[in-house]
Amino acid sequence: MVGIGEKAPEFCLPNQDSVEICLRDLKGKWVVLYFYPKDLTPGCTTEACEFTKALPEFEGLDATILGVSPDSPQKHRKFIEKKDLKITLLSDEEREVLKAYGAWGPKKLYGKEYEGVIRSTFIIDPEGKIAAVWPKVRVKGHVESVKERLKELQSEAD
């Protein structure tokens, strides 16, 4: 997994409208990049809805929120429409960005090992460096802790 102070791995991925979003185009802004397993599943829905609810506060902190999963742009569009989400969801069907950030790897469920998305979140600073990492996210209270950490980072940067 990429660590604090490292350059954030570059990416260009299609969003829910099949429009390519590239990290380089967000230079100068704070980016909250979160990886999640699957659209329309309970934990992922809760996380996406909480980020949507907090979006005005993140925008007030000059931060962009990007959710990434292996789901297709079409599935993201359905997820957004069904749950009235206001955040941008990116499709990483090849899992290249997931792997670059260390958000793809071995997981265990009911004693079985398999490869999957490791729910994780990164704050990328305006220079494109990793400023904060949550390697194994528990959804409850997560959005609030990301917001608080972003505020701390911004006050340290001033």
Domains and CATH numbers, the chain: 14-157 (3.40.30.10)
Give the strand pairing for 88-91 and 63-69.
parallel
Q: For residue 58, what are the CA distances in angstroms to 13, 66, 113, 116, 148?
A: 22, 12, 36, 28, 10
Q: What is the number of other CB atoms lying within 10 angstroms of the CB of residue 81?
A: 10
Residue-wise pLDDT for 4-29, tens only, equals 999 999 999 999 999 999 999 999 99
- The residues annotated with a catalytic role in the active site are 44
Q: How confident is the model at residue 108 (pLDDT cuts 50, 70, 90)?
A: confident
Best CA proximity match to 78, nearest among 103, 41, 31, 50:
41
Share of the chain above pLDDT 90, in %: 97
Is residue 85 packed enough to be buried (19+ CB in 10 Å), middle (13-18) or exposed (0-12)? buried
- Its pTM stands at 0.96
Best CA proximity match to 1, nearest among 90, 149, 132:
132
Q: Where are the beta strands (DSSP E) in 2-97?
A: 12-14, 20-22, 30-35, 63-69, 88-91
